[in-house]
Amino acid sequence: MGTNEQLVLDGVKALGGLLVFLFPSPLGLGICGATGLVMVSLRIGVALRSAALTARAAGERLGIPGILLTLADTLLGMAGRLLVSLPTLILVAAMAMTVAALGTTLSRIDESAAAARRIQELSTVLKNLQRSLKVADVRVLSVDQGRTSLSIDFYDPSVPSAPVSHRDLEIQGRDIYFDAIVLNFDYSQIAGGQKINIAIPYRVFSDQVAQRDGLPLGAMDSQGIPLVFHRGDDDIYGLAPEVYRSRLKELVDLIRNDEVARKAGIVRSLYGSAIHRPVKAGDRLEIRIEQTGGLTVRDAFPF
């Protein structure tokens, strides 16, 4: 669509929105009524001043009868002009209603198109998230007196060459559980009827520390987006990188609130999924998320 045509459509939508605001709503009707009252008052004021000046020039006072006569003459004159202009006013009102209806229709079409585009873009974000990736390398520093010390290096898929953050954890117990939140998009609007699960590494607990008391892994960026959701520009398909990141932020904000997410048709359920390993000092582990939505822990090898 050309620039001129788009400007015309935008103008029709803006004018239609203004008309819809002014006439059906109590506030809009109040504004129109107040404007009309001000205009009538000004017209009466001008007529009274003119009549008073005429009477003074004749050496007389206008008086109450003169005021009433001027009021009646002014109001009758305005009513007569209104009556003469009635066909034109009816035509203008009909045109205004047409413009309002057209503007409302165009706005709804735009809203529907924007909603469909949003769903499509969120669906593409999900497809980009369905990959098998390394999340972290874990070194077991020590297992001493029932306490396990871990050194964890976290990876960012957009910077795959080296870890982007590090954390040392110490937890009671020696059977270590790595917990993940699984986002189930089965049958949601953006899943398009497919079964899609996305795992987010969440916390560590053990045979001695309950799941609810586990230590958070904290593998998030400054915006609260999981590092495993990051993608380099060349790894993003189906969307411009800036659109991907904008929709990803929207998706993460939605799934933080389960109730809001369900109402938006984004997520059907959230649940935890933990895997565990008995560990000993010197163990090296690799945590991965899989394309199927699971979390795996396996021995890391130096080659």
User: CA-based Rg of the chain, rounded to a whole angstrom?
Assistant: 35
Task: Give pLDDT, residue 154.
Answer: 93
Q: Write down which residue in 81, 102, 127 finishes a domain.
A: 127
* Average pLDDT estimate for 185-197: 62
Of 61, 93, 127, the residue at which a domain comes to its end is 127
Same domain, 92 and 174: no
Lowest mean pLDDT among 49-53, 119-123, 265-269: 265-269
- Identify whether residues 66 and 103 lie together within a single domain: yes
Distance CA 232, CA 261 (A): 27
Highest mean pLDDT (candidates 90-94, 115-119, 190-194): 115-119
Q: For residue 155, what is the DSSP state?
A: -
Q: Is 22 exposed, middle or buried (0-12, 13-18, 19+ CB in 10 A)?
A: middle
- 98 with 203, same domain: the answer is no
Higher confidence at residue 63 or residue 260?
A: 63
The verdict on 121 and 171 lying in the same domain is no
Q: With cut-offs at 50, 70 and 90, classify the pLDDT of residue 41.
A: confident
Residues 153 and 238 in one domain: yes
Considering the domain architecture, whether residues 182 and 33 belong to the same structural domain is answered as no
Same domain for 18 and 35, yes or no, is yes
What is the extent of the structural domain holding 187? Answer: 131-299
Taking each helix axis as running N to C, give the angle between helix 26-57 and helix 63-84, from 0 to 180 degrees, rounded to the nearest 10.
Answer: 130
pLDDT value at 135 more than 60: yes
pLDDT at 8: 57
The three-state secondary structure class of 194 is coil
Instruction: Give, as one character, the DSSP assignment of residue 209.
Output: S
Pair 156, 267 in one domain: yes
Q: Is 152 buried (19+), middle (13-18) or exposed (0-12) by CB count in 10 A?
A: buried
Structural domain count, the chain: 2
More confident residue, 224 or 14: 224
Do residue 11 and residue 31 come from a single domain?
A: yes
Per-residue confidence (pLDDT) for residue 11, from 0 to 100 = 64
Q: Last residue of a domain, which of 99, 127, 155?
A: 127
Whether residues 13 and 121 share a domain: the answer is: yes
pLDDT computed for residue 142 by the predictor: 94
Q: Are residues 72 and 161 in the same domain?
A: no
Are 207 and 280 in a shared domain?
Answer: yes
